[in-house]
Chain A
Amino acid sequence: MPSIDPCRPAALGALLAVAGLLAVVRPSTAADGEAPPSARSRAPWFEEVTAAAGVARPHRNRSFDNPYAHIMEGYTALGASAAVADFDGDGRDDLFVTDSAADGRNRLYRNRGDLTFEDVAEAAGVAAGNDAKNASANALWLDYDGDGRRDLYVVRFGQSLLYRNLGDGTFRDVTAAAGLTARLNSIVAVAFDYDRDGDLDLFVGNYFPPVDLFDPATPRFFPESFETAANGGGLTLWRNRGDGTFEDATRAAGLAGHTGWTLDLGHADADGDGDDDLYVAADFGTDRYFVNDGDGTFTDATESAIGIDTKKGMNADWGDFDGDGRFDVYVTNITDEYMREGNFLWRNDGDGTFTDVAQETGTWDTGWGWGGKFFDYDNDGWLDLYVVNGWVSAGDENYVLDIFELIVRPDVDLADARNWPPMGEKTLSGYQRSKLFHNLGGSLFRDEAARHGVDSILDGRGVAVADFDDDGRLDLFVANANAPPHLWRNVSPAAHWVELVLEGRRSNRDAIGAVVRLTAGGRERASFVNGGNGFAGQSSRRVHFGLGGETTIERLEVRWPSGGRQVFEGLAADEIYRLVEGGRPELQTRGAGAADGDEETAGHGSGLERGPGDEGDLGARSRSAVTPPRG
């Protein structure tokens, strides 16, 4: 836990900020008739409901039967993941969870609305993600065909799968029809409309090079370096042609230069120019930051924006942690007794560069970090962080000594898997406690994981954040490698909130990339609809804001991916709103979805501000002040 030196100006500022924050929150919660904060604060704010919810089936790692099995099982202790989306359109967030064992079945947990789930994967036709040549590694929901139903991309070591949601509770494998049959040994995917043509494109991060991992033709498929490896799978951009098929646009978009060991991808409009930029977290080498040029290409701005690192990037989640209106990035690396890389918290400086503030914010050390997610668990209006960690928790012997022997061996060929020592039952950075970093006003975080009972020592991989019970408090689902998951229900004291479900019309249907700026109590907060950021965990696409003691949203501005803007005023807190591009806000009945008849308009909505050349009646009324969309 980071220490606070009250004599330091920064710490003093943070403490004052906290004091100010409490002053805002307390009167409101007392007015709500809740118990005094002092009494409530003693109880944990998360309760484990994994078994009761029916989602406790464990993940299992893949075993291998090839000459490299001695290292492969430990090395691929990945594949535990979770992806959240409302796949059946009932307004509740559901959950897809992967297994990786050869006979493992993936789970599609349908949310019944009472914080229990039923596994409908078999009936839906999405359970079969593992076989002799493929192992499930991750998953992503995306509405690739814009029909309003979330489709499912199952990321695999081997060949990934695309399932089209047929709208009747079943899915059809359309991988081949969509042109996505390449064997890429992928570990992550995110979707956003990089070329702003109105459909979602698929960015896939590949870990291994494209060999058959289950029967490799060569032993040289391991990273060639611990710090500068460029022989990984890189990334692949599948451009959505808009007709149900994709084309490989990696080279055309300027992304082919990254050939490292990708572990995570994260997108956000970092420079505020209306299109989404891309952060690539890479194992065994340099993370990459690609600026979207707005013309279908990206520029590799790594050196000028973040510099060249030699760390083990494993997570890329974007969020405005410091409340300056710009999106920042959180990246996990390896920090243990034997290696002190430290995480990155890249503060967006607003001039195309980022400054790592992980040390001074107290988010530097999370052990062998994996998924890390920004979310406001206490609804105080500041983004907190939950970070899971640990590589392999096994026996008493420590594998780091074997790795040490490997790396100091003169002229060793690291790319040759035969040179890697067997892992057996040894532990490497195991039994590490997850971190729940409470944001103390934008400049300092304090670990509250133990206090709130979420300091798991399982080998966490992915974190999916969602308000599964529609109570305005964000719950956590954690996918653990070779272990059962955690579902933690958020039972924090009442504070105000709002959730927004955006739907594009001219923009991509899921409004991925839409930026929302909300003002309440005189303070502006920024968020966006994200298309799967964060390692091995896709959170809800709902945009959630904690409002503290504020009951009214003074102003809500949406900048749609199409470039259009809408402003809404006077919305009430503690509601889930459906915002359709060009329309008025509609209340989404809790747990009943956005179906016709469940909606009513609310607040003082505005029509769409459109740019020159925009045609069609998209909103109730347009404003004269026009912000032209780019592109």
Chain B
Amino acid sequence: MTRRLHPDPAVAAAFLLSLICSPAFGLAAASPAPPEPPADVRAARAALAAGEHARALKAYERAVRAAPGELRWSAEYRQAAIAAEAYDRSIALFEELVDDHPGSAAVRLNLGYAFVDKIPSAGAVTQVILADRALGHFSKAIELEPSWLALYTRGNSYVFWPAIFGRTRKGIADLERAVELEPKESPAPFHAHAWIALGDAHWRLGDLDAARAIWRRGLDRFPDNPALEERLGREGEALDRLLDEHYAIGKRVDTSLEELWER
């Protein structure tokens, strides 16, 4: 069974391709109530708690195959695969699911995330190949369903690419579309990520004025957002250092999607 992404951006999941590095960062807004975990997920969690990664992965794989469009179990599976350094296994599973469910945007996103998950384990050149493949699957997800999540995911991925590759403006276009999809009233806190990444994209292009304007608009909509405050509070080399570190090639980024279901 293929479950489509929820069409309402207000309940769309947030993909944190940027790190959640501050303990102050958290979701206060309402997220959809998490579904009751099926037995396989419960078994996988128990296995993980017992340190039995192989058993956990098998149980998660049963759960993901049973509900390939369910982002939460897929995300949990990928995190378990990261812990077990089973990157190729994760990629293989989602490639299989893409073949079986070619119309599922969620499966495409997961395959892209699986490639992203492998990046820190790879050499510098393979990282480029993995990131490029991830982008291909994110693009396919947008074709299938241009949701806030898919647009944010691909847009943010573009921002990770050094400007020399000419992809930053594509990222800006995606992120501007994502911002437009954000609900006018009561956006969820995770929607701030599109504003952050959009400003970062302008910083990447060297247009600091545009970056600050975006970050300020974002802060107006998401008061007290620590990432936006931090960017606006830094100047010159300190800002560059922050963002260079944030977008360091090869750094593990959080693809856990936890903000989707955390309250």
Contact = CB atoms under 8 A, between A and B. Distances in A.
Contacts, number: 48
B165 A310 contact: no
A3 B236 CA distance: 13
Contacts of A398: 164
B164 A400 contact: yes
| Chain B contact residues, majority secondary structure | helix
Interface of B: 122-126, 128-129, 132, 162-166, 237, 241, 248-250
B14 to A, nearest CB: 27
Contacts of A404: 128, 165
24 contacts: A3-B237, A3-B241, A226-B123, A226-B126, A227-B123, A227-B126, A310-B124, A310-B126, A311-B123, A311-B124, A337-B162, A337-B164, A338-B128, A338-B165, A339-B124, A339-B128, A339-B249, A340-B249, A340-B250, A341-B124, A400-B164, A401-B166, A407-B125, A407-B128
A339 B125 contact: yes
A226 B125 contact: yes
Interface string A396-425: 001011001001100000000000000000
A334 interface: yes
A544 to B, nearest CB: 36
A310 B128 CA distance: 13
B124 A401 contact: no
Contacts of B123: 226-228, 309-311
B157 to A, nearest CB: 14
Contacts of A408: 128-129, 132
B129 A338 contact: no
A398 B164 CA distance: 9
A341 B248 CA distance: 11
Contact of B162 (A228, A334, A338, A407): A338
Q: What 6 A-B pairs are tightest by C-beta distance, nearest first?
A: A310-B123, A226-B125, A227-B123, A337-B162, A408-B132, A340-B249
Contacts of A400: 164
Nearest to A334: B124
Interface residues of A, number: 19
Contacts of B124: 227, 310-311, 334, 339-341
Interface in A434-479: none
Given A3-B241, A227-B124, A401-B166, 16 more contacts: A3-B237, A226-B123, A227-B125, A310-B122, A310-B124, A310-B125, A337-B164, A338-B128, A338-B165, A339-B128, A339-B249, A340-B248, A340-B249, A401-B165, A407-B125, A408-B128
A554 B157 CA distance: 61
B253 to A, nearest CB: 15
The residue among A3, A228, A339 with the most chain B CB atoms within 10 A of its own CB is: A339
Contacts of B129: 407-408
Nearest to A342: B124
B169 to A, nearest CB: 15
Interface in A223-253: 226-228
B250 A401 contact: no
A226 B237 CA distance: 33
A81 to B, nearest CB: 27
A340 B164 CA distance: 14
B126 to A, nearest CB: 6
Contacts of A339: 124-125, 128, 249
Interface string A329-353: 0000010011111000000000000
A290 to B, nearest CB: 22
Given A226-B125, A407-B128, A408-B132, A401 B248 contact: no
Interface in A305-362: 309-311, 334, 337-341
Contacts of A3: 237, 241
A479 B249 CA distance: 32
A340 B128 CA distance: 11
Nearest to B241: A3
A76 to B, nearest CB: 20
Contacts of A401: 164-166
B206 to A, nearest CB: 13
Interface string A581-597: 00000000000000000
Contacts of B128: 338-339, 404, 407-408
Contacts of B249: 339-340
A408 B167 CA distance: 15
A620 B237 CA distance: 62
Nearest to B248: A340
Nearest to B128: A407
A562 B162 CA distance: 53
B235 to A, nearest CB: 15
B116 to A, nearest CB: 15
A193 B166 CA distance: 52
Contacts of B122: 310
A228 B125 CA distance: 11
Nearest to B251: A340
A600 B162 CA distance: 62
A226 B248 CA distance: 20
A404 B125 CA distance: 9
A407 B165 CA distance: 14
A307 to B, nearest CB: 13
A3 B125 CA distance: 28
A300 B165 CA distance: 39
